Structure 1
């Protein structure tokens, strides 16, 4: 499946019989030696009673991750297809319980409450100092405003920030944000765990939209163009100058192909 170009392998593991090693996940996500994906998701029955379903989510490096916005939208659409149900559903992730609803091909995810907001911070890189903004929208994101997203040094600067001591030991995702007009931004993301740019990142889109609203004094919803070419929508409630709740991420979740593979 893909969500705005962010692509995933989804596996029905309601029997909980599938156990994947880090190396197996890496192989499955490898674009030359496997299926190829930014991440892999296992659908599992929920054993805690906190949600309708659970997932195991792995980045392409084989490490388990707390949350993924585009992955969650694909996961919800996968549930709808497997269970033959179009009702709202809930999913327990390592970041907490998220809720999903459907409107045609679009899926809306209610993200967990944002945490650790820090605006107008300074960081020292190899060639210069840089102003950044930080927000955890399920996973950590560092937001950097740029004049032209096409010219942003996503790999070079993204890698430096992702591995900077300021964000150790877990690191951070890095979002390069261009303001196109009030209420419309463009985002390119260097994604932790993929260790490179992805065509979209749902939690990054949310972080970028929230930071833009707070810094630029823009009223949500915010439309976000991603590198894959699609536009996602982020809506939320702002209760004061630095307090955000009820974050909703809306966009497409598309089935690409189904099949079997031997591992």
Structure 2
């Protein structure tokens, strides 16, 4: 007997996107109508590699509530099911998809837990620019004891917390080990922190490797981490206001840091779309 995809009941449409190697599953929640209480469990199952779609995070796009200043809102969850206030690469992917599916115009505002994010989608390309929230809590010249050594670091919140460690070379660095040790250190309790390791190549270029909280691993890129790295390097006089940040995946993010909120620009690629069967991952809509 033949097998027809039309015979599968209760599937949910989804989109798979990536921004500089940071990959996400996105769901139009105007269609899925999933309650917020179920979203964390969905993130853990859907983002699980081999057994789910596989991704660094799950994004639900939804109508903005009455009276909101945003064109639409998102519910953003890391792969471990934790809800995140902000994600720079995720925001660029969300903005491009919102434009492609007619949820928002090319220039619009995305509502996040960290506040409203202005976005501009460059039609006919995969490029998206977002204006992040103002950095806060900048601390320079800090130290932390981890893994039997003293690690100098700097700190700033660019929507989510980021520690920034400046090194001469990143090639042989144990990002997973050192990043995990710092991420869970009591210095950053209770929320923990993302950890960025950077090399400043010149006044306009940084190389970056990031251990991401919530993903609990090194990722190919981190948008808020790229901005945090540029903010810290700028505060130390190592770079100017326009910075190219080269990620682990080899992609380049453009960061503009001036008097106001920083801007992040880069590609947001729509890789594929389809229908998932929640029941096959043990999920329900309750």
Band of TM-score, shorter chain:
over 0.9
The root-mean-square deviation of aligned C-alpha atoms, in Å, is 1.3
Asked if the contact 1:233/1:250 (under 8 Å) is kept, the reply is yes
CA distance in 2, matches of 1:126, 1:151: 16
User: For 1:17-166, what aligned pairs fall within 5 Å after superposition?
Assistant: 17-19=33-35, 20-47=38-65, 48-83=67-102, 86-103=105-122, 104-166=125-187
Asked if the contact 1:107/1:250 (under 8 Å) is kept, the reply is yes
Tell me the CA shift for residue 14 of structure 1.
2.1
CA distance in 1, matches of 2:237, 2:199: 12
CA distance in 1, matches of 2:39, 2:247: 31
Structure 1 segments, 4+ long, off by >4 Å, are none
Q: TM-score, with normalisation over the residues of structure 2?
A: 0.87
CA distance in 2, matches of 1:247, 1:142: 17
Tell me the CA shift for residue 15 of structure 1.
4.9
Q: In the alignment, which residue of structure 2 is the partner of 1:259?
A: 274
- Tell me whether 1:9 sits opposite 2:10 in the alignment: no
- The structure having more radius of gyration, on CA atoms, is 2
Q: TM-score, with normalisation over the residues of structure 1?
A: 0.94
Three-state SS of the structure 1 residue aligned to 2:275 is coil
CA distance in 2, matches of 1:22, 1:56: 10
Name the CA shift for 1:91/1:85 in 2 (closer, same or farther; >3 Å). closer
Asked if the contact 1:15/1:44 (under 8 Å) is kept, the reply is no
Structure 2's unaligned 5+ residue stretches are: 1-16, 279-286
Structure 1's unaligned 5+ residue stretches are: 239-244
Q: In the comparison of the two structures, how many residue pairs are matched? A: 257
CA distance in 2, matches of 1:176, 1:216: 17
Tell me the CA shift for residue 69 of structure 1.
0.2
Q: In the alignment, which residue of structure 2 is the partner of 1:167?
A: 188
CA distance in 1, matches of 2:162, 2:154: 8
Tell me the CA shift for residue 233 of structure 1.
0.5
Higher normalized contact order (CA 8 Å, seq sep 6+, divided by chain length): 2
Tell me the CA shift for residue 91 of structure 1.
0.9
